[in-house]
Amino acid sequence: MATIKDIAKLSGFSPATISRVLNDDKTITVKDDTREKILNAAIELGYAPKGKLKDKEVVIGIVQWISADAEIEDPYYYALRLSVESKLMKENIHIRRFYKENIQDIFRVQDLDGLICLGKFSAEQAEEFNELFTRLIFVDDDPDESKYHSIISDLEGATTDVIDYLKSMGHKRIGFIGGRERSGKNNTLFLDIREVTYEKIMNEDEDLIYDPKFKKVRDFDGITGYDLMNSILKEPDYPKAFICASDSIAIGALRALGEHNLINTQSISLVGFNDISMSKFTNPPLSTVKINTKLMGELASTLMVYLLENEVIAPIKTICKTQFTKRESVYEINI
């Protein structure tokens, strides 16, 4: 069986650092790429520390709905996976990773005791997984709350809170820049709950003025924010506040504002989602909704351990609250 010294030799980090990472020591701060290299080495060597399941050799699959290359550019799903893996390793559980490009391998392996699914999966995919696994958890999506265990964020409540905050700052006309995602064999379209909630509130709240031409949707990336904000700025009557469905979109929108010399002029307020590390360093620092990916990943792993040790009849659904981080990208206007 592999030892911590073996992991140190393969990863290049000290045994002390490796031990503290694998034991999820919360008294130290470790960079994500360091944690990733240590976890990769541990998984490659088949290492598992002593834990609650020490008398069993348990293998849990973790499947990302995006490709391995896409994950590198996606801090949200990258952080989710790291959190899940760190907690499972601490519980003496072996891990097998799957990505979009090798998702069919899930149906070929024989040794998985459960599956944790990260991201958006179609109803067809969820049913295929359900036929194979009695221990099945979805994180960041809920294909069917009557059938599957899930861990999700309260994005509906978060969007409502953002709109209420923008209203309190004097904004009545609020735009939206978002993304839509597809998954599965049939390229199933997933509508973002932030977009749905935004449109519902803007249509129903008599104090707000909704203009559908300023609800722009494409992808969840920086180029989307950049391109769509540039198109918005061509309109003479654009709103003075926008909700961006991800920080990446917001950062792209800020770049467009900068090129139009609209940074720090208090002309347009922006709010993002995810609170990625870069958000506090943008110009201006970005107000954003923090989604606790670490908590979501840990809850998914904890639930999996519970399912391994207990029979559960009814599906368990956990909704994680978000936190709105106010920085300097929202400006008050005269009411």
Q: Minimal CA–CA distance to 74: which of 253, 222, 241, 269?
A: 222
Tokens describing residue 287: 């107000």
pLDDT tens-place string over residues 114-131: 999 999 999 999 999 999
- pLDDT of 70 > 80? The answer is yes
Answer yes or no: pTM beyond 0.85: no
Residue 335: pLDDT band (50, 70, 90) is: low
- Give the CA distances from residue 204 to residues 169, 175, 191, 197, 200, in Å, rounded to whole numbers and listed in that order: 19, 15, 19, 11, 6
Whether omega before 236 lies within 30 degrees of 0, making that bond cis, reads: no
Average pLDDT in the 322-328 region?
A: 96
Dihedral class, residue 325 (left if φ above 0, else alpha if ψ from -120 to 50, else beta): beta
- pLDDT of 37 > 90? The answer is no
pLDDT score at 46: 75
pLDDT tens-place string over residues 257-282: 999 999 877 789 999 999 998 999 99
Tokens describing residue 109: 């392996």
pLDDT tens-place string over residues 142-189: 999 999 999 999 999 999 999 999 999 999 999 999 999 888 777 888
Alpha carbons 305 and 49: distance in angstroms, whole number = 15
- pLDDT of 25 > 80? The answer is no
pLDDT tens-place string over residues 222-256: 999 999 999 999 999 999 999 999 999 999 999 99
Of 218 and 45, the one with more pLDDT: 218
> 3-class DSSP state for residue 215?
strand
Residue 15: pLDDT band (50, 70, 90) is: confident
Q: Domains of the chain by range and CATH?
A: 4-153+292-320 (3.40.50.2300), 155-290 (3.40.50.2300)
